[in-house]
Copies of this chain bind each other. A is one copy, B any other.
Amino acid sequence: MRVTVSRRAHFNAAHRLYRPHWSPEKNEAIFGKCNNPHFHGHNYELIVSVTGEVDPETGYVVDVKILKDYIKSEVEDAFDHKNLNLEVPEFKAKNPTAENIAIVIYNKLKLVLDPHLDLEVTLYETPRNFVSYSGK
């Protein structure tokens, strides 16, 4: 019996979307307001979902306290109240779009979670825009 267990978390960060080798005009045309060189920011809401067998003894797929600790060490401590472009190494060369942030979070959590667990990451950039990634 495989069950999916999900945990919500959140972090606040500043970012800017742009490509350094593009002209300002092209950056403005593609990224619009998100290209503001002084940055803007979001309250990112994160849902981390892991799928696996239910332990017949504990009734847990995973201890949510342990999942919460991984989210804290891998995501919140790394991203919260940070400028993603300037302070988070993964986005030195990569555009911090919601898509790329979700992929980075997936990759960081995949490294620390039990490899038998399937993982999906859903990231809300705003209440109206969100993305999901499950390593496919």
Which A residues contact B (CB, under 8 angstroms)?
1-10, 12-15, 17, 19, 30, 32-34, 36, 38-43, 49, 54, 57-61, 63-65, 80-83, 86-87, 94-100, 102-103, 126-133, 136
Out of B40, B58, B95, name the residue touching A41 (CB < 8 Å). B40
Question: Whole-angstrom distance from the CB of A37 to the nearest CB of chain B?
Answer: 9
In the A-B complex, the 6 residue pairs with the closest CB atoms: A41-B41, A38-B83, A59-B97, A59-B95, A33-B81, A14-B14
The secondary-structure label for the interface of chain A is mixed
Q: Please determine whether B10 and A126 come into contact, CB atoms closer than 8 angstroms.
A: yes
CA of A17 to CA of B63 in the docked complex: distance in angstroms?
Answer: 12
